[in-house]
Amino acid sequence: MAQLNITLNQDEILQLLCNNREDAFKSLLTECLNGVLQAESTAQLGAEPYERSATRSGSRNGTRERQLNTRIGTITLAVPRHREKPFHTLVFENYSRSEAALVTTMAEMVVNGVSTRKVATVMETLCGTNFSKSTVSEACKSLDKAVNDFKYRPLDGRYEFMYVDATYFKVRGKHRVGSKAMMVALAITDSGKREIVGFEIYDNESKETWKLFLESLKERGVTDPKLITSDAHDGILYAISKVFPDTPWQRCQTHFSRNILSHAPGKYQKAIHAELTEMYNSATMEEARKKRDSIITEYADVADKAMECLDNGFEDTMTVMALPDDFRRYLRTSNHLERLNKELKRRSNVIGVFPNEGSLNRIIGSVLVELNDVYSLEHGLSISKKSKSHLEGCMPNLRLIAREQQRLLAA
C-alpha cells in the first residue's frame, strides 16, 4: 500500500496555528489531501516518483491545479497527471458528495424561507462560498440522482442475514414540524461483508409501512435471508411473517435486556444484567434454558414483571443458538445498525429540522452511500471455514423456528 507523505513539520504547524487558525487548517487539509492524491498516483503507477520498479505501469507528467470547496473554505490541490493512462482519484467524488449534501440542504432552507439570516451565515461559513438559486437547483438534481441510483439499485447479491431498524428525523411540512421514520436495512452478504440494501422514509412505523419496506427489498432482489435481527416492534414482526415467512426472527438481545431491566428495581439491575449476559453466552440452548430458569427462580419474588418479560421473550431472543458459534456474536443484536443510526443522527445535527422530505432523503441518503463505500472496503466477518460449512445444515432447524414463530404470531 502506498504511503501518505505529509510535508508539514511540527514547527510549521505550530507557526501556522499561532498566526491564523483558519489558514492553518486550510494548509493542513491541503497537505493531507495532496498526500492522498500522491498515494493514489503511486498505487496506480506501481512505483514512487523516480523509482525504478518492475511493477511500474506508467510515468508521471507533472500536476494540475484543481479547487475543492470544503467546510473551512476553498482549497487548491495539485492533482497528478500521468502520461500513458489517465489518473483517477476518489478525493473529489467522495469529499464532494457529503459536502454537496450539506450545501444543498442548507441552501434549500434559505430558498424556501424556512431559515433565518443566521442560517445563511452558517452556510457561508461552512462552505466558504455563496451559491445562487440556479446553482443550488442543479446541485440538488445531481445529488438526487446519485442517491436514488443507490437507493433503487437492483440487489443481485446473495444476502444471508439482515438487520432492520428505524430512526426518526424532524421534517417541516404543512406549516408544522413533525417526525418522519427512516427505515434502514443492513445485510450481510455471502462473502461476510456488510451492505446497506435499503432505506425509505415513512410517516410512521406501522405494520403496513414495514410491510411496504420489506416488499420493496424483495422486489429489488433480497430473497429469504437466513435470519433477520431487529427490536420487537409489532410492525417488523408482522412484515417478516408476510414477506419472508420462511425466515426466522432474532430479537435483539441488547433491546431485550433493556426491556427486562426497565421492569426491575434499580438495586437489582446490575446483578440481573450480569446473569442475562451469562445466559446469552451459553454454549447450547439447553444450557441457556437452565440459566433462564435459574434467573427466574432467583428474582421472581423481587422483580416479577421483569421475570415475566424474560420468560415471554426468551425463545425469540435465543434464535441465534440454531446457528454455528461464529455467527452468533454478529447476529444476536442489531448493534451494527444501532451504530449506523447514531452516525446518521450525528451527521444530521447540523441541520436540525429538515425543510422537506426530499432534503432528508438527499442528505441522509448521501451519508448512507458514504457508509456503504466504507463497508465495501472491509474484510468481512471473521467466520471459520468449519462454521461456514455447517451453516447449510442449520437451515431445516431455522425453518422450523420460523414456522413456530408464525404460529405464535397468528394465535
177-205 average pLDDT score: 94
153-176 average pLDDT score: 91
pLDDT higher at 149 or 137 = 149
The reported pLDDT for the residue numbered 141 is 67
Rounded CA separation 293/297 (Å): 6
pLDDT digits (tens, 9 = 90+) for 69-103: 765 677 888 999 998 888 888 777 666 666 666 66
The reported pLDDT for the residue numbered 140 is 63
The reported pLDDT for the residue numbered 1 is 45
11-35 average pLDDT score: 66
384-391 average pLDDT score: 83
> For residue 202, what are the contacts with CB-CB under 8 A and spacing of at least 6?
180, 181, 182, 183, 209, 212, 213
Range among 50-59, 133-142, 182-191, 380-389 with highest mean pLDDT value: 182-191
Per-residue pLDDT for 193 more than 70? yes
pLDDT-based confidence at residue 104 (cuts at 50, 70, 90): low
Pairing of strands 176-189, 159-173: antiparallel
Per-residue pLDDT for 16 more than 70? no
User: Which single residue is written with the C-alpha cell 462473502?
Assistant: 191
Residues 227 and 239: beta-carbon distance below 8 Å? no
Q: Percentage of the chain with pLDDT > 70? A: 81
284-312 average pLDDT score: 96
What mean pLDDT is reported for the chain? 84
pLDDT-based confidence at residue 106 (cuts at 50, 70, 90): low
Q: Which three cell numbers stand for residue 258?
A: 433493556
The reported pLDDT for the residue numbered 124 is 55
Amino acid letter at 290? K
Q: Among the listed ranges 61-70, 110-119, 236-245, which one has the minimum average pLDDT value? A: 110-119
pLDDT-based confidence at residue 279 (cuts at 50, 70, 90): very high
Per-residue pLDDT for 107 more than 60? no
pLDDT digits (tens, 9 = 90+) for 221-252: 999 899 999 999 999 999 999 999 999 999 99
Rounded CA separation 104/2 (Å): 34
182-190 average pLDDT score: 95
Per-residue pLDDT for 54 more than 70? yes
Per-residue pLDDT for 201 more than 80? yes
Burial track 100-132 (b if 16+ CB lie within 10 A, e otherwise): bbbbbbbbbbbbeebbeeebeebbeebbbeebe
pLDDT higher at 101 or 115 = 101
The reported pLDDT for the residue numbered 411 is 74
33-43 average pLDDT score: 85
Per-residue pLDDT for 119 more than 50? no
126-154 average pLDDT score: 70
Per-residue pLDDT for 5 more than 70? no
The reported pLDDT for the residue numbered 112 is 44
